[in-house]
Amino acid sequence: MTTNNSSNQFSASDGKKLPPSSQAEIDQALAVLSAHKDNWATTDIPRRLALLNQIKQDVHKVERRWVDAGNAVRSSVPGTLVEGEEWSSISSTYRFIHFLIRALQDIERFGKPRIPGKVTTRPNGQVVAQVIPHDWKEQIFLAGFRAEVWMDPSVSLEAGGIPQASFYRRQDRKGQVCAVLGAGNVSALIPGDSLYKLFVEGEVVALKMNPVNEYLGPIFEEAFTALIKPGYLQILYGDTQEGRYLCNHPAVDNVHMTGSNHTFEAIIFGPGAEGQQRKRARQPIFTKPFTAELGNISPVIVVPGPWTDKDIKNWSERLGTWLNNNSGHNCLTPRMLIQMKNWDRREELNQGIADFLAGVKTRKAYYPGSFELHKQFVEAHPNARQWGSPQDSHLPWTFIPDVDSTNEDDICFKREPFMSLFSETALEADNVIEFISNAVEFANEKMWGTLVATIAVHPASMKDPQIAAAVDRAIADLRYGSIVINYWGGIAYYLATTPWGGHPNTDIYDVQSGIGFVNNLLMFDRPQKSVVHVPFNLRRDPTLVNIPNNHLYYAQLARFNHNPTIVNLLKLLWTILTLSSKPKIL
């Protein structure tokens, strides 16, 4: 069962608020979970596999409603990029389920998930596992892509190999109840976080929907009924009051959330000035285990090199597209370009981004607080460049160039602009090697967040051994949970076998992008960071906002991830070929 079954009378698009779960309903949901947590902890793998296969089919039944609900809330019409983004969330959910199934099958046969690529040791002894491509189909679909997981330095191959799947190695498994505070921005995060806690960490889940996307609750109640009926998952509704009651309930053993660091700190230390005083005094009032993914001011370090006019154009389109995604309401949206001040193509890249955004339609700024936050950034930077003729509830595309890198307290370095805005700063350097080193130090020490960083580097530059070595040092030294070479952070989340979360050097007193990892479907016990390598210029990129009808790509990607047959792979490749050969002027 789940609470608020009567809420199904509310359609996802009728604009009515779903009633918050009462304390009695929360009590009842937690009683159900507590009664079944030990049963779930000891459920065998064949039963878990059967549940995942059933969920995959049940998600398929609600696909259209899921997509239509997203269109309605974002004031979009079918057949647009917004529809594509909802299909992307469905696709990510299928991919998550697919790799969970493979991992569990491996555990049943071999005792732990098999690592598909090489396991190597870096010169300093750090262990690295290659996790993408996972099979020959990915070698075709993700041609040129490579992903690694770098382990915590404490991991040694001499001590029995990489530790994995610790929950499944335990002889005496005890159940636990995890309260998951669902994300409000991207629908894929909600099933992803819940399934991770259930199938990787072995905990039953009380999922509280975020008020921003609670409209998806009734849809998820149907999609995940296979977990709800036996008492392994319960879905709840409400805002701060209900979340506080849930987290502090004695039946809840631990908490996971995706959201704001302000919400995290309010739970740990209490709200307002008193909470901040407790934080400074290191006196938390909430001491249960708490994992979280909390956002980021995601940097893009642009390595100077022999960029051509075509390269400038391609990267302007990429960066503009990544800002466009979900109206900029993503924790992994590129927020700060870091360039070398005297690079002769710096201004051309800035202008290319400006020219591209000037032709892109504005989108609904649906996330609470977007307008006030935009106002704060623009007031701090009157030189901000803005484009578009926003309708009601829209914000313009906004770019703040040449932010003073010596002003450490600038809002662009200290606060995540969770809306359609990003910035650029430039660092002094005598050469490229020095610039890379300075950029890494700047990103680590001056910018808020530890979630994901991008390095854009031309392949010709990487042929220089000194630059290649500097990039390798940058990957090692950047204190971010994911490092992506030549693409945006979204790929590190989508791949699913790459752990996703803030760098593990933080704690509750300086939480930044969070504590702990999700995804991580090869179930590494002690990952440090994910590293994803992508070609500098993709031959075909159907994700660009100026590709007509690219929602068809995302829909076909969902078909492939739901059922990764050769036929669906060929259909996906054909879609990529035909769509991305027809860019349009917006």
Count the residues in the chain. 586
Q: Which residues, 6 or more positions from 172, have their beta carbon under 8 angstroms from its beta carbon?
A: none
Look at residue 96 and give its three-state secondary structure.
helix
User: What pLDDT, on a 0 to 100 scale, did the predictor assign at position 564?
Assistant: 96
Of residues 518, 355, 342, the one with CA closest to residue 438 = 342
Smallest CA-to-CA distance from 100 within 195, 166, 180 is with 195
Position 8 scores a pLDDT of 33
pLDDT for 378 beyond 70: yes
Give the mean pLDDT of 211-233.
Answer: 97
Quick one: average pLDDT of 159-181?
Answer: 94
399-436 as b/e, with b when 16 or more CB fall inside 10 Å? bbbbbebeeeebbbbeebbbbbbbbbbbbebeebbebb
pLDDT at 263: 94
Q: Determine the Cα–Cα distance for residues 293 and 502; give it in Å rounded to an integer.
A: 7
Q: Say yes or no to pLDDT of 428 above 90.
A: yes
Q: What average pLDDT does range 487-499 have in this prediction?
A: 97
Residues with Cβ within 8 Å of residue 148, at least 6 apart in sequence: 117, 128, 129, 130, 131, 530, 531, 532
Decide: helix, strand or coil at residue 335. Answer: strand
Q: Which CATH number fits domain 298-533: 3.30.70.1050, 3.40.190.10, 3.40.50.620, 3.40.309.10?
A: 3.40.309.10
- pLDDT band with cut points at 50, 70 and 90 for residue 274: very high
Q: What is the pLDDT of residues 389-403, one digit of tens each?
A: 767 899 999 999 999
**Cα angle for residues 159, 160, 165 (degrees, 5° grid):** 120
Whose tokens are 């009842």? That residue is 28
Residues 97-152 have pLDDT tens digits of 999 999 999 999 999 999 999 999 999 999 999 999 999 999 999 999 999 999 99
Find where tokens 């296969």 sit: 53
Measured CA to CA, the distance from residue 227 to residue 236 in angstroms comes to: 14
Q: List the beta strands (DSSP E) in 195-272.
A: 204-208, 233-236, 254-258
The domain locations on the chain are: 298-533
**Sole residue written with tokens 């054909």:** 574
Compute the C-alpha angle 451/454/455, nearest 5°. Answer: 145
Looking at residue 138, its amino acid is E
Q: How far apart are the first and last CA of the chain?
A: 48
Phi then psi for residue 444, to 5 deg, are -70, -40
- Is the pLDDT reported for residue 157 higher than 80? yes
Yes or no: say if 183 and 259 are a contact pair by the CB < 8 Å rule: yes
Helices (H), 151-216: 166-169, 189-199
- Which residue's entry shows tokens 């699913």? 496
